[in-house]
């Protein structure tokens, strides 16, 4: 037990109970140091939070539908019926629910009109495993926003307890600014609006056009989104959950990096779980750009390596022009890849992978979102789905 790495491997296998790590931290100063280390906490979560299934979102006839498919055997602890949409109305009959993301065993949804152009007026935080759901009213200052301009994230107060308090973070773009607001289940209220001015950040041209990317990643206690501007401009939006400060920084990479890329994604593949930008090419090769502070404190991006997914059992797409990446879970460094041999879930850290679908489930475009939760996975893969 004189080696910290050996002790950490043992502590990593403590049961994923809310009291496990706090009790371990009381044993001695050394144990407290190990179990409170951010890298250990990230590994502990990755060890216990297993992919139970995936949410699939598609857009038939211009409207969004979503469903859930198990990819692992939940055993007797989780009922398949738990993933049927709870009987919660999104308003009048003209409204439906839109998927905004999932994290820490919870799913975040926002209401919109069935025709796709209406404004969200309610939000739903859904815990399928626990059978709980919470209906939230969208803040009054967002009632007039188009639903597609609002992105969101749900976060548990403790990433090791899927039944504890949670927060919801909403981000949206204005004409020349980006905004964020947080809801806390402990207070039952929305906080103040945080704002980052785009023009001061050099983010926009005269038209002010900008798009907040759908995918987000949690690094430490900060959430990150990609911001896409006209002319190929790329920035990162950072929201600090402690201070609730909002910051916009430009991503400066060599011009040829962006040439003919097939997707930009944020992950935590850097050493210690730091922020990493993944640039995908058409041949399923990924460049990993890691953010490091320069001598003057500004962020620099350095090439940290390359992942050649095309060399994993020849995981190549049907055609180079096909969209191969169907989903990314940046917190856990998981990527969903569509290939000519089926759809695979690839764990980018270990480079292990498993087939989750025999063929691409989408005919009209769609995305796949891994759903992880605390459970003891079985050995078999299931092929049962529940649509709603």
pLDDT digits (tens, 9 = 90+) for 91-120: 656 677 889 999 988 999 988 776 554 555
Q: Which residues pair with 57 in a beta bridge?
A: 66, 367
Residue 60 · residue 357 · CB < 8 Å: no
Determine the Cα angle at 143 with ends 234 and 204, to 5°.
Answer: 20
Residue 159 · residue 108 · CB < 8 Å: no
Helix/strand/coil for 60: helix
- Residues of the chain above pLDDT 70, percent: 77
Dist. CA 285–CA 8, nearest whole Å: 33
C-alpha closest to that of 291 among 224, 193, 214, 385? 224
CB neighbour burial string for 149-171, b if at least 16 within 10 angstroms, e if fewer: ebbbbbbbeebbbbeeebbbbbb
Residues 187-241 pLDDT 10s? 999 999 999 875 544 554 444 557 889 999 999 899 999 998 766 678 899 999 9
pTM higher than the cut 0.75 = yes
Number of DSSP helices (H) and strands (E) in the chain, helices first: 4, 25
Dist. CA 149–CA 171, nearest whole Å: 8
Other beta carbons within 10 angstroms of residue 69's beta carbon come to 20
Averaged pLDDT score across all residues of the chain? 80
Is the pLDDT assigned to residue 161 strictly greater than 80? no
Per-residue pLDDT band for 26 (boundaries 50, 70, 90) equals: very high
Q: What share of the chain is helix, strand, coil (3-state, %, to 5)?
A: 15, 45, 40
Residues 327-365 pLDDT 10s? 999 998 999 998 888 899 998 888 888 899 998 888 767
Dist. CA 366–CA 165, nearest whole Å: 31
How confident is the model at residue 380, as a pLDDT?
Answer: 35
Helix/strand/coil for 244: coil
Q: Which residues pair with 169 in a beta bridge?
A: 153, 182
Residue 334, class by beta-carbon neighbours within 10 Å (0-12 exposed, 13-18 middle, 19+ buried)?
A: buried
Per-residue pLDDT band for 326 (boundaries 50, 70, 90) equals: very high
How confident is the model at residue 300, as a pLDDT?
Answer: 84
Residues 297-325 pLDDT 10s? 677 889 999 998 878 766 665 555 567 89
Other beta carbons within 10 angstroms of residue 370's beta carbon come to 22
């Amino acid at each position: 037990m004189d080696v910290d790495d050996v002790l950490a491997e043992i502590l990593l296998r403590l049961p994923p109970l809310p009291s496990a790590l706090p009790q371990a931290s009381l044993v001695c100063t050394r144990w407290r140091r190990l179990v409170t280390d951010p890298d250990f906490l990230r590994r502990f979560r990755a060890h216990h939070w297993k992919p139970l299934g995936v949410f699939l979102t598609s857009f038939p006839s211009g409207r969004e539908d979503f469903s859930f498919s198990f990819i692992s055997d939940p055993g007797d602890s989780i009922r398949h019926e738990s993933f049927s949409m709870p009987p919660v109305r999104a308003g009048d009959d003209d409204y439906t629910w839109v998927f905004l993301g999932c994290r820490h065993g919870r799913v975040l949804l926002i209401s919109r009109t069935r025709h796709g152009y209406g404004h969200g007026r309610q939000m739903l935080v859904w815990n399928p495993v626990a059978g709980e759901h919470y209906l939230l009213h969208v803040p009054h200052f967002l009632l007039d926003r188009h639903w597609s301009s609002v992105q969101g994230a749900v976060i548990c107060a403790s990433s090791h307890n899927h039944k504890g308090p949670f927060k919801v973070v909403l981000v949206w773009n204005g004409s020349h600014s980006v905004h964020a607001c947080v809801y806390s289940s402990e207070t039952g209220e929305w906080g103040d609006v945080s704002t980052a001015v785009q023009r001061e950040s050099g983010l926009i041209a005269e038209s002010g056009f900008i798009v907040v990317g759908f995918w987000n990643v949690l690094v430490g206690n900060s959430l990150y989104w990609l911001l896409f501007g006209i002319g190929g401009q790329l920035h990162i939006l950072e929201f600090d959950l402690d201070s609730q400060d909002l910051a916009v920084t430009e991503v400066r990479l060599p011009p040829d990096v962006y040439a003919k890329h097939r997707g930009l994604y944020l992950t935590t593949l850097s050493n210690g779980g730091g922020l990493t930008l993944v640039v995908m090419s058409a041949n399923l090769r990924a460049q990993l750009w890691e953010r490091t502070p320069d001598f003057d404190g500004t962020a620099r991006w350095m090439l940290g390596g390359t992942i050649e997914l095309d060399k994993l059992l020849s995981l190549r797409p049907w055609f180079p022009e096909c969209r191969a990446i169907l989903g990314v879970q940046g917190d856990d460094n998981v990527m969903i890849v569509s290939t000519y041999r089926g759809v695979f879930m690839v764990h980018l850290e270990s480079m292990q992978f498993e087939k989750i679908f025999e063929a691409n489930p989408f005919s009209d475009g769609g995305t796949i979102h891994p759903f992880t939760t605390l459970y003891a996975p079985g050995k078999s893969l299931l092929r049962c789905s529940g649509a709603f």
